[in-house]
Amino acid sequence: MHDKTITELAAALKAGEFSSVELTEALLRRIEAHNPELNAFITVTREPALQAAREADAARAAGKAGPLTGIPIAHKDIFCTAGVRTSCGSKMLDSFVSPYDATVVEKLKAAGVVMLGKTNMDEFAMGSSNETSYYGPVKNPWKLDAVPGGSSGGSAAAVAARLVPGVTATDTGGSIRQPAAMCGISGLKPTYGRVSRYGMIAFASSLDQGGPMARTAEDLALLLNNMAGFDPRDSTSVEHVVPDYTDGIAESLEGLKIGLPKEFFGEGLDPEVGQVVEAAIKEYEKLGAEVREVSLPNSKLSVPVYYVIAPAEASSNLSRFDGVRYGYRCENPVDLEDLYKRSRGEGFGAEVKRRIMVGTYALSAGYYDAYYLKAQQLRRLIRDDFVRVFEEVDVLMGPTSPTVAFNIGERSDDPLQMYLSDVYTIAVNLAGVPGLSIPAGFAKGLPVGLQVIGNYFSEAKLLNVAHKFQQATDWHLATPEGF
């Protein structure tokens, strides 16, 4: 039963083929068997999961089951879960048992899902390979010495290895799409403001967005139905109607206008990855879509712009971790300054400290205009490119990442090289538009993701575009060997 999608599992539960408890136990056994090798989970919540599964089965017996009742999922360890450790992949929060649930967690709980545990991630979501986690790197199920991508590497690996059918994740510069691509699964970053950020530990507030990862677009739609929506607790949450994302998912793509940003196909793109993406686009033409080249001229600046804005916001967001009210506190501080400096110096890893320092510098007196303000101005130009291009086309397509999964350790000493693996995903966060990644084939024996980008609030269209591809191809069904 572990090989079934959420849609299939929901049908099976409904038909009484097995119970949620049986399903939960089966997946917990798989996690026990495979997690030591993959390191996809930081925390497994066995007892609460079984309890939730029993409740789900009871609800079903009472005729009160919804589409997600009894479906096991896992949360990226960036979402606060009441009574369960929420580490954010950091030593700083290794002891942090959240006193409250994130809105996303609360909504999915209300929908009847069963949380199996919390997935591994780059520390505070700062990374593109899941190597910065305090809990150690996650292995890519397709190749155990390769990274799963990041920062939602644990979430992606857990779905790819069939340990769980769906997960929550977050995407600040590509952290849902890039690991989805590298692990051969589907992942959606919604429009900024579509999914509440309340209880999602902030990395860069103006870029962070939660979203689902699963094997199919249909499953993403089911999850998004229960994640999206206005939240009065989040000032940046949007009061915009949430449609049923499964409606219209199978609509024809006849006449769909696809734009291919030429900046996404130039230097730096692995030619084999490029070929896979081109083949996928051919497939869309067969489905009736029209393809044309477009340009996002300012997108080439998205990586430098991002590496000012994200660290600047992060440097401030992470100031609350000071060893006073929760989290890591150093031993025997001699004075207040020592308490701050050592708690933070010992509690944060190298990449987090690096970014805090970059951000602190970018905001400091005398440099603010040259870095932060300049980046915000360029951000507008990058956004305007998207606005303009969506007057011409319905969606944009291109590679999610310039390469397939690289090996663990290969880029960890070179932060800049690492940052470039998000070169195609970052502009989407800066603009705030939605984007998803779906499996499009293989290069060098590893999965390649196709990125589909849409206009603001066009998640339904993106899911429709992804679903039609998955009906016509079976890349999303490929399972890594041994799983």
If the CB atoms of residues 143 and 355 are measured against other proteins, the closer one turns out to be 355
Q: Are 223 and 212 in contact (CB under 8 A)?
A: yes
Interacting stretch for other proteins, rule CB under 8 A, among 35-43, 137-145, 197-205, 215-223?
197-205
* Helices and strands, number each (H, E), in the chain: 15, 11
Please report how close the Cβ of residue 3 comes to other proteins at its closest, in angstroms.
34
Evaluated on CA atoms 261, 264, 267, 272, the torsion sign reads negative
Residues in 274-333 that interact with other proteins by CB under 8 A: 298, 301, 303-305, 307-308, 312-313, 315-316, 319-327, 329, 333
**Burial classification of residue 481, based on how many CB atoms lie within 10 Å of its CB (0-12 exposed, 13-18 middle, 19 or more buried):** exposed
Residue 337 in the binding site for other proteins (CB under 8 A): yes
Residue 18 in the binding site for other proteins (CB under 8 A): no
Q: Binding marks (x or -) toward other proteins, 365..404, rule CB under 8 A?
A: x--x-xxxxxxxxxxxx-x---------------------
If the CB atoms of residues 92 and 276 are measured against other proteins, the closer one turns out to be 92
Distances (CA, A) of 424 to 132, 191, 241, 254, 308: 21, 16, 29, 26, 17
Q: Binding marks (x or -) toward other proteins, 402..441, rule CB under 8 A?
A: -------------xx--x----------xxxx--------
If the CB atoms of residues 326 and 483 are measured against other proteins, the closer one turns out to be 326
Residue 221 in the binding site for other proteins (CB under 8 A): no
Please report how close the Cβ of residue 460 comes to other proteins at its closest, in angstroms.
18
Q: Scan for tokens 């305090």, then name that residue.
A: 134
Q: Binding marks (x or -) toward other proteins, 135..174, rule CB under 8 A?
A: ----------------------------------------
Distance CA 70, CA 178 (A): 29
Residue 89 in the binding site for other proteins (CB under 8 A): no
Q: Are 154 and 138 in contact (CB under 8 A)?
A: yes
How many alpha carbons lie under 13 Å from residue 248 in its C-beta half-sphere?
Answer: 11
If the CB atoms of residues 56 and 430 are measured against other proteins, the closer one turns out to be 430
Please report how close the Cβ of residue 414 comes to other proteins at its closest, in angstroms.
9
Distance CA 423, CA 79 (A): 26
Distance CA 61, CA 34 (A): 32
| 295 catalytic residue (yes or no) | no
Residue 241 in the binding site for other proteins (CB under 8 A): no
Residues in 348-367 that interact with other proteins by CB under 8 A: 348, 353-354, 356-358, 360-361, 363-365
Residue from 76, 91, 139, 143 carrying the catalytic annotation: 76
One-letter amino acid of 388: R
If the CB atoms of residues 316 and 473 are measured against other proteins, the closer one turns out to be 316
Query: Residue 407 has what DSSP assignment?
Result: B
Residue 267 in the binding site for other proteins (CB under 8 A): no
Residue from 87, 133, 152, 175 carrying the catalytic annotation: 175
| 175 catalytic residue (yes or no) | yes
Distance CA 415, CA 355 (A): 10
If the CB atoms of residues 18 and 340 are measured against other proteins, the closer one turns out to be 340
The alpha-helical segments, DSSP class H, found in 370-448 are 374-389, 415-419, 426-431
In the numeric block, which tokens belong to residue 197? Answer: 């950020």
User: Which residues in 15-65 belong to E strands, given as ranges?
Assistant: 41-44
In the numeric block, which tokens belong to residue 231? Answer: 């939240």
Residue from 128, 129, 151, 237 carrying the catalytic annotation: 151
| 90 catalytic residue (yes or no) | no
Interacting stretch for other proteins, rule CB under 8 A, among 129-137, 152-160, 252-260, 335-343?
335-343
The alpha-helical segments, DSSP class H, found in 348-422 are 350-363, 374-389, 415-419
In the numeric block, which tokens belong to residue 330? Answer: 């150093």
Please report how close the Cβ of residue 47 comes to other proteins at its closest, in angstroms.
20
Residue 97 in the binding site for other proteins (CB under 8 A): yes
The catalytic residue positions are: 76, 151, 175
